[in-house]
């Protein structure tokens, strides 16, 4: 029997987790001498590399001496909480990675609290001690306080701390003593993390994640809880609704290095991938054929937000995307719910419109961005926060918001957040920054990031996580400015845009094709204004010299997908295609808009 350690890595976005995994992989000599690999081995989809975040958890294994270490990479964002909880079920210990300057961040707290509840043993790695103005000792104290506040047991509080730099590839038990490798980390894992328990008896395995291959279909991944799984045996699949389905294991694989190796049997404690099982969901238990015993299902945090997804019906539909029909949209959304646990999709009374529930703007925007890259065209409505009725009173989700900001602009940030019903709970210096913590309704966060970044000249660092449902806090002022709306379809002219610059800021530039009803800018006042940007200059044969070449146009305002999702109003849609993101009114014709406004009044 080989000794196995299953360990999950927890870290905040950008604290160096994926880089550390790269170094562990290199140190264990998985690659042959002639193989060359880029950095960020595990963040292998484009979106993860671009945003520098881990979205989907992944498995990799390394060997040190005669021990096999299975490393499970976890997402650091609270929006992917569904991903985190099921992944921790496979681990016996966690590696908590914190930045030697920033310390434990709000997202770290979220994942760490889940790990501590599950009773996992932590090892703390204080990373980036090579950076100037780092404070490793303070950060160590901070992590201890955090674990204490999360009700860690005495055994969990007695954690081993390692210091080092993943980038430079060294770890040590004292940050003043630099070594030249990360062997101390391997030693600590073997010494501290308990070996994966071996339980005798009938086989049991909970499916905690899935993979897909175009050759063999869906692949179930999980840790064998009890007994031994054999290739080619018949098993029972225990479903959510209590029903039991008979299935057969076609093939078993275990994780070796970055790949998988086919084996005949897998004993308890090992993580494996199974092919040949049909119709399973995450959380189902694979159990004995004769007398199946299901394991307790994974509970997932409830969604806090929903958005309307509908097909693209703008005048420009079908010009850029491959998948444009309601059937395409429907199939893609329901396929996503199979592996994205915290996502829910509901059909509405219109067959081309769906309500999609998620954990936050980032959770939903990653789905929209992924679909857009796959060639889908769709439209989404304004994100709506989900309210709950508790004892007859309306409750809403409250988020814990943390902002680190230069001292001189801290006042502006506090003012912006309190306008949106945020309450300041902590204000303290952190290095040369002010560290602010608030409790704010999730509704208040929509569109807040743009305003805070504008007020602080882009220097604020914002993070938030879901805290709890609390009684409704009253109305929150939305966007103060109205929209500039295109009157006609066609390319805009520099002449018209120049003449209208005093009316607001434009989101389009001369020569760009727009359609009637598209939102092409932000009005300087509170009401919507319909403008004509297609008008050219009336040319006569008498030209005044020098009057034509002084057209100076302010560059257009560019929005990222998340910013645009937060920006749109209730009567607007965001049109998303593989090449463009456009905002538009739901009713493109001005007369229709006026008619529906009267109805609403």
User: Which residues are annotated binding-site positions for GTP?
Assistant: 14-19, 127-130
**Which residue spans within 83-140 are E strands per DSSP?**
93-99, 121-127
CA dist 367 and 56 (Å) reads: 12
Burial (CB count within 10 angstroms: exposed 0-12, middle 13-18, buried 19+), residue 394: exposed
**Bind-site residues:** 14-19, 127-130
Strand pairing class (305-311; 384-385): antiparallel
Residue written as token pair 């090992």? 270
By C-alpha distance, which of 208, 223, 209, 210 is closest to 267?
223
Strand pairing class (3-11; 93-99): parallel
By C-alpha distance, which of 264, 254, 253, 202 is closest to 227?
202
Task: Report how many helices (DSSP H) and strands (DSSP E) the chain contains, helices first.
Answer: 15, 35
58, 74 contact by CB (below 8 A): no
Q: Diameter of the chain by CA atoms?
A: 97
- Residue 211 CA: distances (Å) to CA of 77, 281, 342: 21, 12, 17
By C-alpha distance, which of 283, 296, 295 is closest to 220?
283
Half-sphere exposure of 38 (CA within 13 A, CB side): 6
């Amino acid at each position: 029997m080989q000794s196995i350690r299953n360990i999950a890595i927890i870290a905040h976005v950008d604290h160096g987790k994926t880089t550390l995994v790269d170094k562990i992989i290199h140190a264990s000599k998985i690659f042959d001498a002639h193989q060359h690999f880029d950095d960020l081995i595990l963040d292998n989809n484009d979106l993860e590399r671009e945003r520098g975040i881990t979205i989907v958890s992944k498995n990799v294994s390394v060997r040190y001496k005669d021990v096999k270490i299975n490393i499970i990479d976890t997402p650091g964002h609270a929006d992917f909480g569904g991903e985190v909880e099921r992944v921790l079920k496979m681990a016996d210990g966690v590696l908590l990675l914190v930045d030697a300057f920033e310390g434990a961040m709000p997202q770290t707290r979220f994942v760490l609290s889940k790990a501590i509840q599950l009773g996992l043993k932590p090892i703390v790695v204080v990373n980036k001690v090579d950076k100037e103005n780092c404070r490793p000792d303070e950060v160590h104290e901070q992590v201890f306080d955090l674990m204490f506040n999360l009700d860690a047991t005495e055994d969990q509080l007695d954690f081993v701390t390692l210091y080092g730099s993943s980038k430079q590839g060294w770890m040590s038990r004292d940050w003043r003593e630099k070594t030249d490798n990360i062997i101390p980390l391997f030693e600590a894992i073997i010494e501290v993390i308990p070996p994966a328990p071996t339980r005798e008896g009938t086989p049991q395995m909970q499916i905690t994640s899935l993979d897909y291959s175009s050759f063999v279909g869906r692949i179930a991944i999980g840790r064998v809880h009890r007994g031994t799984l054999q290739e080619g045996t018949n098993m029972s699949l225990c479903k959510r609704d209590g029903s039991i389905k008979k299935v057969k294991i076609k093939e078993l694989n275990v994780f070796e290095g970055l790949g998988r190796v086919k084996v005949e049997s897998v004993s308890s404690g090992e993580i494996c991938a199974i092919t040949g099982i049909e119709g399973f969901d995450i959380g189902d238990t694979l159990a004995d054929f004769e007398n199946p015993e299901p394991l307790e299902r994974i509970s997932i945090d409830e969604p806090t937000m929903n958005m309307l997804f509908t097909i693209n019906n703008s005048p420009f539909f079908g010009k850029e995307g491959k998948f444009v029909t309601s059937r395409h949209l429907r199939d893609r959304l329901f396929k996503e719910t199979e592996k994205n646990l915290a996502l829910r999709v509901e059909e509405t009374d219109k067959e081309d419109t769906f309500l999609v529930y998620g954990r936050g703007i980032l959770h939903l925007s990653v789905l929209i961005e992924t679909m857009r890259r796959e060639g889908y065209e769709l439209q989404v409505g304004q994100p709506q926060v989900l309210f709950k009725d508790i004892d007859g009173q309306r409750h809403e989700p409250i988020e814990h918001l943390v902002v680190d900001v230069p001292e001189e602009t801290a006042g502006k940030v506090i003012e912006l957040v309190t306008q949106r019903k945020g309450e300041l709970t902590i204000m303290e210096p952190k290095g040369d920054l002010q560290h602010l913590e608030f409790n704010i309704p999730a509704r208040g966060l929509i569109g807040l990031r743009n305003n805070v970044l504008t007020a602080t000249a882009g220097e604020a660092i914002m993070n938030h996580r879901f805290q709890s449902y609390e009684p409704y806090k009253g109305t929150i002022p939305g966007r103060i400015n109205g929209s500039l709306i295109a009157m006609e379809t066609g390319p805009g002219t520099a002449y018209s845009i120049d003449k209208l610059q005093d009316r607001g800021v434009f989101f389009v530039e001369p020569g760009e094709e727009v359609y009637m009803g598209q939102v092409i800018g932000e009005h300087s006042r509170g009401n919507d204004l319909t403008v004509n940007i297609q008008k050219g200059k009336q040319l006569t044969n008498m030209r005044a010299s020098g009057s034509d070449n002084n057209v100076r146009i302010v560059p257009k305002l560019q929005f990222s997908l998340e910013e645009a999702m937060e920006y749109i109003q209730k009567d607007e849609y965001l049109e998303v295609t593989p090449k463009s993101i456009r905002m538009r009114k739901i009713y493109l014709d001005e007369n229709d808009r006026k008619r529906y406004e009267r109805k609403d009044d």
